[in-house]
Amino acid sequence: MPYVKAILSGLGALILAEVLLGLRYLWVTNSKATGMAAVTGGLLESLFSPLFWLLAIAFFTLFFKASRSSNGALRTAFFWIPTVGVTCLGLAIVGLFSYLYFHFRNG
């Protein structure tokens, strides 16, 4: 179970940091790109940002410390709900884009 908690903490931290910074780069950037080019550029720009990695490390630390807490309410509020929710949301978005890619790839 400790491995599952660590993996879930890491995955949740990466997805949450990407969502927070990716959305910020989508609205702040002065790019003239449209459509998926703008989305891809914003997400890649946030992925290579040092702020992304600092946020991911901070979220991972918060989630991992909460997962090891002996208080059940604290563990539920700061580990299980955020990590499972963010991970499910991230996997749903990846699944949606994968479905759209395979469905519409031939025009």
The pLDDT tens digits of the residues spanning 63-100 come to 999 999 999 999 999 999 999 999 999 899 889 989 98
Q: Which residue has the higher pLDDT, 66 or 1?
A: 66
pLDDT of residue 28: 66
| C-alpha distance across the termini of the chain, in Å | 45
pLDDT surpassing 80 at residue 30:
no
pLDDT surpassing 70 at residue 31:
no
Q: What is the pTM of this model?
A: 0.80
Question: Please, which pLDDT band fits residue 104 given cuts at 50, 70 and 90?
Answer: confident
